[in-house]
Structure 1
């Protein structure tokens, strides 16, 4: 786990899961994303409760083992205690909230409002537009419409609970920071499912820890197998003899290579459309650190070498 964190520390996902031992102690996982786009456990803790001080102790202990200065972004759900714990030890990083949990929270509140189904649908659509807004203008437009359509009860709820935290969940702001495309905690949910295939609420705490270590070992074996297969396999793409593509597939993991090759081919087919200055690059560059179609198109237009 230590080596995995050292290799992929940029984006850390934190969340708790339940019903994994007799004492009903919540299990907190800390996960990163590796070069294959897979979630990897870099820390776990069975905690007595989910109070703020407990979670601060958890993050503090994690920081004693790992260098937290390498973390750029932390993805959590919407728990204020989790957010406070992260902010104490990593005050400069970007905290991003799971967009799925955001939409769930708004949906629960909307059900308590006395409005018609049609109005509910309109409000839901406006909230979604705000969550996934690609610009401040788009966000402001949907925000203004929400005030005109939603009942005062819902508007007050939004102002009290979500307005100030918009930089943590609104796409045009979260896309300014690296998150490797993790706008939800789906990787965490996937890992939780694997863990619950092994753990259950009838296990003692020592048995639960043994089960967790088993899951971690199995995950490491799977990663080693993928790495071995990649090293022993010569990358080949049908009907594609482009020199740049050849370099990409040889130097990057298949996961990253597929993304970059798609961007390169898109730029090559529509150079004039996508050429721009680096400051106007799409979210792929800012969120994943990979060259986007805009960079490729600009270099093609200026006849610059496409090297890696």
Structure 2
């Protein structure tokens, strides 16, 4: 159902799931689905999310998104050594992108903040950084 491209396909998959969930007069799974998932299908069924900005990330789980990105580089025929090199190169590239973003000239800095707070300030707005600082001050 998650990857249904049209509302009709979603309905078809939903009906199939309903018939499977009602086997042997057991309805607990179907009742759970209707109560918790059926009413909010606009949030998780692809057919209803087509017009939303998703920036190429169609999952609601960032770990699965990362695995999808890694699969672009990792192939089944690669040796363990080559796979490890690919993973380390990916990590190095991401670290360099992060460093360039955080330490880029012109990023916001505040002399009263310590380094971690300036990193947060460079990635967010002054308001968010101030909210984070108050939490650190309380702790």
Give TM-score, length-normalised by structure 2: 0.43
Larger RCO (CA within 8 A; separation ≥ 6): 1
Structure with a larger share of its residues in strand: 1
Structure with a larger share of its residues in helix: 2
Give TM-score, length-normalised by structure 1: 0.22
